[in-house]
Chains A and B, each alone.
Chain A
Amino acid sequence: MKTDVVVIGAGAVGCAIARELSKYQVNVTVVDKNEDVGGDASKSNSAIIHTGYDASPGTLESQLVVAANPMYDEIVKDLDVPFKRIGAILPAFTEEQFLQLPAIKEKAFKNHVYDVEYKSGAELLAMEPNLNPEVKGGLYIPRESIIDPFILVQAMAENANANGVEFLLGAKVTDIKTENGKIKSVVTEKGEIETKYVINSAGLYCDEIAAMVGKADYKVVARKGQFYILDKNTSCQVEHIVLPIPTKITKGKLMCPTIHGNMLVGPTADDQESKVDKSTTAEGLESIAKDVRNLVPGVNLRDTITQYCGLRPNRNPEGLHFDMYDDLAGYINLSGVRSTGLTLSVAMGKYVVQQMLMHGADFVLKENFIKERKGIIKFSEQPLEVQDALIRENPLYGNVVCRCETITEAEILQAIHRPLGAKSVDAVKRRVRAGMGRCQGGFCGPKVIEILARELKVSPEKINKHNPGSYMVTGRSRG
């Protein structure tokens, strides 16, 4: 295999870079160890598009997050990604917290986030009636937003793919070869790719990739974040992102709606050695329950439909880093892409490509770049007439497979058959939400396994939950 640029990692940042590169006449291959695009940290986070109000002023992270936030209005339109600017509130419940507000507002100002405003306790309670009534006042950050993080990454990947970017999935990078101070090739489990450039956007594993070219002067520290997702019907809801006032030790746990109308509560923040241990813990889940009740006392965790855990790739020493090297032409290293990574991905795409152009890349713009990508139509969100027309056109829209989220067989087939389509149960879930609802795939799981096996023309035991080894079933009981 031969290409111009290899992007390692098909998470938010990798896919954003790939999409940006696909505007140019250059061959790009994205490689990832996972069987699906979507990365690791990019698919288990709080799904918030930040403003950067609380970043460290003057850092690359601050610049990119602040620049990225306004880009979303256009990107979500072009790529058909569910997104909503719901705003965040930062309520103070104690005198001590109240006295911290001016410093937080000043930091926002230094980050060029000028639209942060004070709100009185009464105003905040009017905005968010389920808030702890002890609230003394707080800040309102209007452009903090929520997004479907799965669709965002899929959309960027699909659009890059439509513009010629190749994806090599299930292909763990095992080595990077260099020659005379230049990148030569990337060796993966699925073959070697000759290339001029390598962009390391491997997130949790970016230190291991960097070590392959002798550039690992840092370590990735996985910071575990556990979350609860509550039923759409839960009695106590919020309409904004409700953030706690950070303490010296932690940024704390928040409560917010997801773009699909569930409530999200969390996360914890605990550093750990392992990059694979994504287990929730009794203590972690209890600590979320305790902390969030300070913000929203009525939160009903008995309405939980799932708990999950994500690992944010923090860096030691800290900070978001973009590195190019005089002694290794063609190698770009990204590290410290942590909880703000989803937000800043779209700005990072542009930043990386501009840096490449300024450092000698002779990429020429395409004339036929396809800017737009259409998502899979959500049957459940259509008006009756449209639903009726959809079924008449394709009767499989009449067959509801996932009853909790009202997902039809027609949508599942599109998830499987569109470019970079779903090959696993989780991949179907992340594309069309079958199994994301309150029964967590209890009813539709068995059907989805059967549909995947039928459509991919394999036997059911070949269907995985996510990656190889995660087989859903052991085979036919009667041969």
Chain B
Amino acid sequence: MYNMKYDVVVVGGGPAGLAAAVSAKEEGAEKVLIIERDNALGGILQQCIHPGFGLTRFKEELTGPEYYSRFTEKADALGVEYLLNSMVLEVNTEAKQVICTSGEYGMVCVTCGSIVLAMGCRERTRAGIVVPGTRPAGLYTAGSAQRLVNRQNIMVGKKVVILGSGDIGMIMARRMTLEGAEVVMVVELMDYLAGLTRNRVQCLDDFGIPLKLAHTITKIEGNERVTGVYVAPVDENKKPILEQEEFVPCDTVLFSVGLIPENELSKKASIAISPVTNGPIVNQHMQTSSEGVFACGNVVHVNDLVDNVSSESETAGKFAARYAMGNIPAETKTVTCKTGRNVRYICPHTISLSKEAETVDLYFRVLMPEMGAKLVAKCGDEVIAQKKEIKVNPGEMNHITVNTGKITGDLTVEVIKED
């Protein structure tokens, strides 16, 4: 086995891992290594050739490759090292060792000062949502189809039905249309859009692609290749109204029905996982339940904007570097972030207080859409931060900034309906 030694090891070379590695280096970590299983850095952004990235961070509208290249250039300039085509098989949190494959070196054991988990997420599949029917060719998750079309020069089909109005699904609706396929419809179980409104406008409305809200696919047909699907409206309990079922011929079905943080490594390493986000429980420095092991990006909670991923990953990288250098402020107390009215989860889950006050961005998702909302963070009855929003929506992450100096105990975030 080949042995290596680094200050900070980052598992995953997508947007989260890149930002963490760059910021660890900037914070002063001498040797930083990214371990990436694909043949190039950039992660999912390599196939996200569409625009819409970087509006918050760079104040301009970038495509995926442009966005991540700003980080790879920085990483190169700073001397971040990386292993490609290399899959991490084990993380030992106690010994701070990471074991991975490498075609070049054989099995590699990297001993390090701290670890950043940035494995991203995977797509929920048909099985996760139980769509009955046959198992023919032509069923893809939207992301697999996106990789094939945008990176591998392979078209997946000609007549497409998309299940789920997630962002990748809508973006693929436009992409497939531009490549000459017919997108028959986008079917969404909920009575509201899962993804961003602007994607509906630019990807569906622009091309006249029908969006069927409160509908679902009840059955898939075809033995060799898909020949069509049955689509039906659903009632208020999300049960299909079978009397109104109709057959929609197609040769391809794309599933855009949600993303799941990919935490098999974290679970194997006994890192505490939140049952709500399916990601590691972290504090405001993105440190997990294992000391010196940090996590950031979609492995923690699924984000809709890469800009948020970058900033949260910079925090992870910065504190991973500090941990490796033995420079983490001494904790005086830990408080928990609790969900109040219309809040599904909050990230970070806990806040570690020390003598130094700092500002912390609390990212959270609401449970249901609401117009005219006030976002409030409070300790007991005392409001420590608040902010107004024209509307809130489960598909769009909200955030509120608090100062740890004002925190007196466990903190609650809630959304108050304003008239």
Name A's B-contacting residues (CB within 8 A).
233, 276-282, 284-285, 302, 304-308, 384-385, 387-389, 391-392, 395-400, 403-404, 406, 408, 425, 438-443, 445-446, 449-450, 460, 464-478
**When A and B form their complex, which 6 residue pairs have the shortest distance between CB atoms, in order from nearest?**
A469-B224, A398-B103, A465-B137, A395-B103, A400-B87, A470-B224
Across-interface contacts of A302 in B (CB, < 8 A) = 128
A445–B146 Cα gap in the complex (Å)? 12
Does the CB pair B140–A388 fall under 8 Å?
A: no
Contact B143 A391 (CB under 8 A): no
Say whether B136 faces chain A, with CB atoms less than 8 Å apart: yes
Partner of B37, one of A403, A441, A442, A471: A403
A439-B125, A442-B122 as given contacts; A398 in contact with B86, CB under 8 Å: yes
Are B130 and A440 in touch, CB under 8 angstroms?
no
- Can you sample 11 A-B contacts with CB below 8 Å? A279-B132, A304-B127, A307-B130, A387-B106, A395-B104, A400-B87, A406-B87, A440-B125, A445-B140, A445-B144, A446-B154
Residues of chain B within 8 A (CB-CB) of A441 are 144
Residue of B144, B149, B156, B221 with most chain A CB atoms under a 10 A cut-off: B144
Given contacts A387-B101, A391-B107, A396-B103, whether A442 and B157 have CB atoms under 8 Å apart is: no
- With A442-B122, A442-B123 already in contact, 14 other A-B pairs whose C-beta atoms are closer than 8 Å: A305-B128, A384-B107, A385-B1, A388-B2, A389-B106, A398-B102, A399-B85, A440-B127, A442-B141, A442-B144, A443-B144, A446-B148, A449-B148, A476-B154
Partner of B154, one of A284, A285, A388, A460: A460
B104 touches A443 (CB 8 A): no
Most A CB atoms within 10 A — which of B104, B135, B141, B156?
B135
CA distance A468 to B138 in the complex (A): 13
Which residues in chain B, 43-92, are within 8 Å of chain A measured between CB atoms? 85-87, 89
Tell whether, in the assembled complex, residue A384 and residue B1 are in contact, meaning their CB atoms are under 8 Å apart.
Answer: yes
Evaluate whether A467 and B130 lie within 8 angstroms (CB atoms) in the complex, with A395-B103, A446-B152, A476-B154 already known.
no
CB distance from A131 to the nearest CB of B (A): 24
Q: Which residue of B lies closest to A392 (CB)?
A: B106
- Does B85 contact A398, Cβ atoms closer than 8 Å? yes
Cβ-Cβ contact count across A and B, 8 Å cutoff: 148
Q: Shortest Cβ distance from B84 into chain A, in angstroms?
A: 10
**A476-B101 contact given A388-B1, A388-B107, A470-B224, CB 8 Å threshold:** no
**Is there a chain A Cβ closer than 8 Å to B94's Cβ?**
no
How many angstroms between the C-alpha atoms of A72 and B249 in the bound complex?
Answer: 47
Quick check: is B267 within 8 A (CB to CB) of the other chain? yes
Residues of B within 8 A of A446 (CB): 144, 147-148, 152, 154
Q: Does B399 contact A (CB under 8 A)?
A: no
Q: Are the C-beta atoms of A474 and B155 separated by less than 8 Å? A: yes
Q: How far is the CB of B91 from chain A (nearest CB, A)?
A: 14
Contact A281 B37 (CB under 8 A): no
State A395–B105 Cα separation when bound (angstroms).
9
Measured in the bound complex, the distance between the Cα atoms of B150 and A477 in whole Å is: 9
The reply to whether A470 and B225 form a contact with Cβ atoms under 8 Å apart is: yes
Cβ of B224: which chain A residues have Cβ within 8 Å of it? Answer: 464-470
B contact residues around A473 at 8 Å (CB) = 148, 154-157
Smallest CB-CB separation from A460: which chain B residue?
B154
Contacts of A400 in B (CB 8 A): 37, 87, 101
Residues of B within 8 A of A471 (CB): 137, 225
Q: How far is the CB of B371 from chain A (nearest CB, A)?
A: 32
Given contacts A467-B224, A473-B155, contact A285 B132 (CB under 8 A): yes
User: Does B384 have its Cβ within 8 Å of any Cβ on chain A?
Assistant: no
Contact of A391 among B103, B138, B267 (CB under 8 A): B103
Nearest-CB residue, chain A, relative to B47: A446
- Establish whether residues B225 and A469, one from each chain, have CB atoms under 8 Å apart when the complex forms: yes
Residues of chain A lying within 8 A (CB to CB) of residue B219: 279
Inter-chain contacts of A472 with B (CB < 8 A): 137-138, 156
Tell me if B405 is interfacial: C-beta within 8 Å of chain A: no
Q: Does B99 contact A (CB under 8 A)?
A: yes
**Chain A residues, CB < 8 A from B104:** 395, 398
Q: Is B218's CB within 8 Å of the partner chain A?
A: yes
Tell me which of A277, A404, A464, A471 has the highest count of chain B C-beta atoms within 10 A of its own C-beta.
A471
Q: Is the CB of A443 within 8 A of B122?
A: yes
Contact in complex: A442, B102 (CB < 8 Å): no
